[in-house]
Each structure stands twice: as C-alpha cells, then as structure tokens.
Amino acid sequence: MPGTCVVGLQWGDEAKGKIVDLLGDGFDYVVRYNGGANAGHTVVVHGKTFKLSLLPTGVIRPNVRSVIGNGVVVYPPRFIEEVGQLRAAGIDLSESLKLSDHAHVIFPYHMEEERLAESGSEGKIGTTGRGIGPCYQDKVGRRFGIRVGELLRPDHLRERLRFVVPFKNRLMKAFANGHADALVPFEPEAIADQYLGFAETLRPHVTDTSRLLHDAFKAGKRVIFEAAQGSLLDVDHGTYPYVTSSSSLPSGIWGGSGVPAKNIQRIIGVVKAYTSRVGKGPFPTELDDGPTGIGERIRKIGREYGTVTGRPRRVGWFDSVAVRYTAALAGADEITVMLLDVLSGLPELKLCTAYDIDGERTTHFPSDAFDLERCRPVYETIPGWSEDLTAARKLTDLPATARRYIDRVGELVGLPVSVVSVGPDRAQTILV
C-alpha cells in the first residue's frame, strides 16, 4: 500500500493540516518525520481550538495511529502538554501515539543556547526559539546528543548529563560575551530529576517506530507523512542559512522515519495563493508596502501571524519560480492552492514568472540566499475579483477571474491543481 506525503512548497504555514484533514478516513497512520515544536498548527476539535506544534495534525482523527519519527526533535514538556490538552477534550492518545526511541531530546540549555545566539548583533536567523537548531547540532555532532530512548535509563541519563551540562555552561558563558554574570548555570542533577519525571509519562509511547512503520506497510496500512515547515526552509535545498535545521522536503522521510522512498507514491504539494515567510532571509516577491498597502491587507485578512511565536508573517505575491523549484525537488504530483479567498477585493493580482538578476532574466531559482537577495521579480499582472469566495464549493461557483488565476498558477508551476481552499472550514473546499 503506497504512502502519501503532504508537503508545503513555500516557506511554511501553507495550511497543510487542512489537506491532511481532507484526506479524512483515507489513512491509518500519520507520521511526522522532521522538525519539532516549531511547526505550529491550529486544530479544531468539537468546536474547541488547539494550537499544536509537536503532534501531527492528523492526531485528532479517530482510529488513526500517530507517529513521531526519529527525525523529529522532541521537547518532552511540550509533548506532555499537547497530549494532555487533547485528553482533556476527550481524545485519548495513550494507545495510538508512538514516539521514536531514536528521536533527539531538547533540553533547556538548547533553548538558552539559541536565545543567546539570536540575541547577538550578527548571524541571526529569526528562529522560533524552541531549541530546534542547537538540538540538531548536538545530534550530528554526536558528543552531546541525547535520544528519547536514553531518558528511560536513569543511571545512564544522569551520567550523560554530568558530561554534557558543564560543557554547555561553558558554552553559554562564551556566547554571553561579557554578560555572563546574568547567566544561571544549569544543574545536571536537577535536569536529570526533571527529565526522568517526564520519561515516565513518555514511556508508554516510546518504541522503535521504523519497525512499526515497516510492519504497517507490510500489513497494507495506509500511511501519510506530514512534512513540517516548508520546502524553502529545507536545510539542504532551502534558502540557506535562513532555513530550519531539518529536511522538510519528502527526502527527509527516509532518514526521518526509516521508510524507504519507494514506499511513497503520492506527493501533494501545498501552496498558498500568495506567499508568506516568518523570520529573516530573502523573499523576492515580498509586499513591503506599509500599513495601508496590499501586504498589510493580506496579512490582516489571511491572519498571517505565526502560530508558535505570534510574529507577523511577511507576505507577498505568488512566486512560481520558487514553487517550480520546490515542486521538482519534492517530486510533487499535484498542488493544492490554499487561502484563495484572501485575495478577494484586489483590483489586480501579480504572479511572479521570472527573476532579473544583475541584468539577466532567469526562470531558475537560485537556492543560494545571497544570489536570491539580488533577484528582482518579473510579474505578470492579471485582473482580480471583488466577490467573496468563501461560499464557493465548486469551480463554477468562482468568478471567471479567480478561475483564471488558479489555472495560471497551475500552468506556471506545471502541475495540476487538485484542491482549492476558500476558507478554514473543511466545507470551504473545492475538489477540482
């Protein structure tokens, strides 16, 4: 039974969760393979809204088993909080949620390390402050990384923390650069006591999730992989260094869950009808046109504020150069266009079809952020529409101009548009 991946083709927040939700009862397992609690998503259960950042969005579906794969970095208090929130709403995950024993653990010193690095005057990325980058650094560095399975071995965990924490305290001092007096050193025993407490709550969920997934595929189960962040934030192929620290493209599935690529047959690329980005980094089609400009209007109507950090998202026109690039890397079979309703009321809309860089025109995306910084967008302007789209349920309910916009997005990206979303509700969806 082939697997499906739902992946964002921009800089994150493309409303991937709604697509997972629309796949409905069509799957048995939902898997996260990258990132951590930096991936904010809003889930509505029985009219109650939850802001999840670590558990997959598919976790709320009845009869679905959820997996947090080895490629995810886990902050145990967040895991416990999100599971508890859902339990309070009547969703019991004690049997259905599994956590890889190979996933790396985020400790308080990771967050402090990130805070100090991001508060310097140079080298800022604009991260979410969740300790994601420092934890992945420790994972690939190997000397200091601690995995979920190690939390379950008390003596071993204490020994590891006695080795790691003094080094981290020295590192913080160096980072604090003259302000070290304000730092409170971390205590290995205190962290060990706290994390051994978390471990008892985590224990029933912890398992070898790669084996679990291999067995699931063998048993013909339907598996869906939820990519976190967006493809332009992928650590290898995104706008480095303004990226996250994991492989958000479907290429991350093999490493981040242990499921070989040959098991993934359908890749659904999710895009917004425009573009958004949080944090620093180049963004050629950004609408930086002031408090009365189109950018602010889209931000307000689209509620473009980060779920994790509350930061206003940067917004801009749809960039087909960028999406063609990520669609190719992702191996997307189709795209779904989200938040089309947000563009209502604009007399004309722009679609970026190419870039000018140093006087030359290109339709290729320079994945090097420093080259992208110099790119100027080349736009095609097409007429907008004034109608409210939120009640549209089929393509013919849309004004001709909105249909033309969607057609043009599909043409420019070179992929069929399979879904158009015109509002947050499940019903506000057009299946093309």
Alpha helices in 94-153 (DSSP H): 108-118, 132-141, 148-151
The least distance separating ligand IMP from the CB of residue 244, rounded to whole angstroms, comes to: 3
Are the beta carbons of 383 and 294 closer than 8 angstroms? no
Please pick, among 25, 28, 41, 181, the residue that the annotation labels catalytic.
41
Q: Identify which of residues 39 and 352 has a Cβ nearer to ligand IMP in the complex.
A: 39
Alpha helices in 203-337 (DSSP H): 209-218, 252-257, 294-301, 320-330
- What is the pairing mode between strands 314-316 and 275-277? antiparallel
Chain residues in the site for ligand IMP (CB under 6 A): 11-13, 38-40, 125-128, 130, 132-133, 228-229, 233, 244-245, 278-279
Please state, in angstroms and rounded to a whole number, the distance separating the CA atoms of residues 423 and 430. 10
Q: Identify which of residues 117 and 196 has a Cβ nearer to ligand IMP in the complex.
A: 117
- Closest-by-Cβ residue to ligand IMP is 279
Are the beta carbons of 66 and 91 closer than 8 angstroms? no
The least distance separating ligand IMP from the CB of residue 214, rounded to whole angstroms, comes to: 28
* Radius of gyration of the chain, Cα coordinates, nearest whole angstrom: 22
Specify the amino acid at residue 132: I
Active site residue 110: no
Q: Identify which of residues 57 and 229 has a Cβ nearer to ligand IMP in the complex.
A: 229
Are the beta carbons of 81 and 52 closer than 8 angstroms? no
Please pick, among 13, 138, 234, 319, the residue that the annotation labels catalytic.
13
Per 3-state DSSP, what percentage of the chain is helix, strand, and coil (rounded to 5)?
Answer: 35, 20, 40
Alpha helices in 258-350 (DSSP H): 294-301, 320-330
Q: Identify which of residues 212 and 232 has a Cβ nearer to ligand IMP in the complex.
A: 232
The least distance separating ligand IMP from the CB of residue 248, rounded to whole angstroms, comes to: 9
Are the beta carbons of 382 and 302 closer than 8 angstroms? no
Q: Identify which of residues 133 and 302 has a Cβ nearer to ligand IMP in the complex.
A: 133
Active site residue 41: yes
The least distance separating ligand IMP from the CB of residue 358, rounded to whole angstroms, comes to: 26
The least distance separating ligand IMP from the CB of residue 10, rounded to whole angstroms, comes to: 9
Q: Which residues are catalytic, by number?
A: 13, 41
